[in-house]
Every structure is written in C-alpha cells, then in structure tokens.
Chain A
C-alpha cells in the first residue's frame, strides 16, 4: 500500500479523499438520523409568539394565517399588538435582525378591552359576528355584552356597530397587577441622556 502511495501519489491522494468523504458522509448521515430533533413545526412556534389578539392589523385574517405567512417569508414587523418585544422574539426565533414596527399596520398602543354601552345597544348581532374569539354575548334584538376576560382588544367589533355604542377602554391596573416601575435614574438611560441634551444643544 505504501509502495502504491509513493508510486502514484496523485491517485493515492484521490483515493484517500474519496474514502474520507464516504466515511464522514456516512457519519453525518447516521448522526442526522440518530440525533434527529423533533421540533415544533416553525409555524406553531411563530404562532406561539404572536399575541393572539386576532385583530387582523397585519392584513391576515388572524394570527395563525400571519404565522403561516411569516414562515413563508413575510416580514415580521406587521404586528402592532406584539410590539417591539414581539418583533424581537420573532427575530430571535428566526435568527433575523429585528426591524422596526411597520407603521402602516398601526402603532403599539396600550392594551384595551371592548365595552358596550348597553343602553344604546340595539341588538343587531353584527359585533358578535365580527368578534374573532367569541367574546361577545347576546342574541338578536337583545342587548349584547363583552366578556372582558375573553376580549383581546382587537377592536374589530367597533367598525360594524351601526350605533357606535362600543368603546375601547384601556385596561385599568388593579391591586394585584400594580407594581413598582423600574427606577428612573440618570444612570438608567445612559445612552439616551447622552444623546438628547446634545441634540437640543445643537438645535439651540
């Protein structure tokens, strides 16, 4: 064998390389079968990050369809309720650079819950049909009401109401949800304070 290698160094190298290719290829193939990771399909993982408000602001009819679209390459910045945090999480999951929220689809706002002014409700059921999560209770010609705990604040019920009796009210903080904010110190906004006064100074 050594004689062969010294006599035909070129062929020896080629054969050695081929043998190694076969070996390592086999090893990789074996590893991919043996250590296969059964992961969530990517659509489910994306859907898990989306806020499930089903508001359609992304122009898809719900969060799942948008998740499917993202998996097919749609931009990740079309979900205002998810906000920057949601974009960050999606970017982390998909190993992309986070991009700012697409203002065309709305801006990140405080979470609200729908409230029906019940004296004004005429019982048309249009909001019931619009609600993506069946959070409105009522029947034809009878007053409707919103189950606040189920409401995602998508405001899809506001538009169809013929008498405009639905308000989107901000969720009030109750005792159980009250908490101290992060301390606001000069140190906490190291970069921001570095920047702002300078800008002002230059403007002045």
Chain B
C-alpha cells in the first residue's frame, strides 16, 4: 500500500491517524494532519453513517460532539471523535450540500448524536435524514421558523422602545405546523399513566431543563426533556468578540466550570496558533482548576445529601467548602469567575508567600472530607438508598457518550486530564478513580475519592511549580481550526474554534459535559421509582440549584395537580427515613 498523504502532500506521521484512515478505507476523500494529537478526515457525505459505525464500533472512539459550519457549498458537519486510549482527536468532516442541506442522521444509530443533530437543525438549518425526533431543542417557542442564528447574515434584531427584541422584521413567516413540531404536547397517556413535570425553573448551565416523567404507579416508564430556558446564544455572541474577550464570555457558560471552559477554549486556540504556555502558567492553571473541582464536588455532595434528607451533610459540605472559595479569591481575585486564563498563559502570578496559605486551606479539608466520605461509604441507609438505583451500564455509557464522574462511575476509565495530557497533570502523581457498578452510589464514591486526588494534585503542584514567566507572547492567531478539551468537574468540556486570521473566532462550538450526561437519563431513569428520580437526576451533577424549581405532578386524566417538587423531595426523604428504620 502506498504511503498515506495528507492534503499538503506530506506523509502522515501519526500511526493513530493512519490506522483510522485505513479503517475508513474508501470513504475518505481528504486527510489533514494538524499535530500529533489532532487529525481531520473528510469523508463521502453519502456514507457518513458507515463512518460512524466504523469509528464507534471498530475503533472504539467516543463521539465528543458534532459541530456545523456554514461554508460556500453548504454546511460542513464536523464529527469530533475522541480516541481516548490514544489521546487523539480525529474530526470527520462531511458536507451537507446546498440546496437541501441534508445529510444522513447518525443519531438514528448512535444515541450520543441525537441531541446535537437537533441542535444543528435549530441553529444552522441542516436537515438530518432519518432522525427519529427532530423537534425543537434549543430555540425558544416563539422563535420564528426558518431563522437560524448561526447562519451567515444572521443579525440580532434591534431593541424596540419597550426593550423587546423585535422579531416581526425577521425573514421567515411563522407557519401553522410549527407549534406541533415543537415540544410540550404531552404524549397520550394510557389509563393510569401519570405525567409528572419537573421544571422549568431548574438551572443548568446552557440548558435549563423541563423534565416530563411518564409514570405508571410509582414506576417511571418514559421521560422527555425540553431545553431553551437558559439558551442565551453564547456561540453566536462569541463570534462577535475578540480572541482575548472570549475567555470572559465562556467562563460565564457555567459558573461552576469557570476555570474549565476557558481552558478548553484556550487549548483549542493554542492548537491553531501552535502556542505553548510556559510551564509555570500550566501549573497555575492546574492549581486553580483543581481547586474548582474540589469546590464543585463538595457542592454536589452537599446537594445530594439534601435530596436524601441529610440536610446536615448539606450544611457541613458547604461549610467546609468555604476555605476553598477563600483561597480562590486570594489567588484570582474572585470567588467564582476567575478571569485567570488567557491565550498563552495566565493573567496573574501567585507569589510564593501564598503557597503556605493554599497548603493550609487544602490541608484543612482532609479531615472533613474523610468524615464525609466515610459517612457515604459506611452508612447502611445510604447503601440501601443508593445501591442499584439508576444504573447506567457500561454499554449505555458508551452509547450515550457520557463523560466525567458519570462515565467513571460506570466503569469507563476515561479522563481528559490523563488521556489528552496537558497542564501539569503529566508531571504529578494521581489516579483516575473508577467504580464498576454504574449506580448513584458509585458516582457518589467517585466524586468523594476524586476530592482527595485533587488535593494530592494541588499539593504536588505547589512542591514542583517552576519559576519563570507566566505567559507567552501572542501576536495574532493564524487562520485554521482547532479542538480543545478539558476535564471539568462534571466531565469533558469540548470546544471547537475556527479562525480566519481575524480578530476573533468565526465559529466557536461549545459542548458542556452535562449536554452528553443528561440525555443518559433515558437509560438510567426508566423503570425506577419516582422517589428515586430526584437523586438519579442529581447523580450526574447537572449544576443543580436544588431548592427552587416549579415542579408539579398532574394526573394524566383529570389534569389536576398531585405532587409538586417539594412533595417529590419529601417522598425521597421519607423513603430514606423508612429504610433507616429497617436497616
């Protein structure tokens, strides 16, 4: 076989890319090698399903996300496949050509691709042939049909005198069927089937959610979700900002991932410009990101405790989390939005006289964390309450492409920090925590144990942090495209950035970890008791602010309210109490 050539005529260096291209065989039209961890392959658009089957089935790749990009001939659909075992990301491109802008749906074979195709249908107007469920996902109910915010020429309408963005002037007349194609129409209930609405006031980074559970007796038989309540349009906004402004925007994607999103974005941009941050900057990034993981996991432990009726755990976990918030404020100037990362390095140095303070803060966490972990591991009630509940099997975890503690709790040993080395993670000693069971208990254990790993990482970083500059000089970003990912507390956050050599990105795709973790509820919730649903929903940690939601249960026949959210929490707490007596 002749040597594999890339677009420019150079031989492909990476054995991983060669292997993937060989496996894809006749599907491949073009190959482009960017660097030893990134490759791009263009395939025949008519055979995109076959490419997905080969990559998922044979190459064991994980579909990180899909992004769409309007080009002259249509819409380029970019399937980003992560080969975690090789630390490689290969992007498969296929063109959905004008005028139909249609391509075969991968979502009909692979659940992980379901939502993202719906999203691209909303935002770009691409059509996916054979997609099982092409309802509106992200845009609001009153958004005009046929207006796609990520298409060229889209302009945010002006604000009128009342402060409202006027939509009447927009192209695309409202059509009569639009409402039917959107969400909200409840499926016809069987007799005895109850519809329970959870939401919509339930905050979750880009996606506030509105769950509908279909129940027979106490068992959940089906569920559905409607997003958009929190859809702000960050990807479109990002293309109107400069390279250096975007980190401030993306840290506001999600408040608890405000070190992770900028880092993933910066990794993408640095891969376009072949920029390398100095070692000291990588250490400083690692320290802030791990402190964020600590505070995020402790926050989750507290909220999970609240859901189960252990309000003491909630108060304790949040009390012991305060030293982390204080130290973050000392290092970065803010408790939450750190504004610390920039392309090529970090903005603020940490003077060495602060090291003992950081050490003291993380050291003060060890004892309470041990206590909390033991409270989880040894409590017979928690065992009874969480073991075997909401099981996400390894097969389902793979098919839905889940990441982070949700995947590791199902026995999938994937972690961006180890698999795609960056920061200081390659130079310190730490472990990827996994648990095989896949139930809520396993996910709780993973999070508790990860706190100790985070402490280990921070302490070693403080021991080894080198002296030197904190940022590299960056003059401009050349044209090109790049992918960056980072292991946020909830899982992999993935950014795709494209540059035309100008002042800011021309396309910026953000995929937050909950975006892949939430749809897996369909696999883990169905067949469970209603009383368990609130903790199963919480088990992927979808940025819960738990107490404030509009949740009500309606009787499917009479439409009379039966339970509200407080009742559900009360039912969940009562079940714990009952079990406590039995155990």
- On whether the two chains bind one another, the answer is no
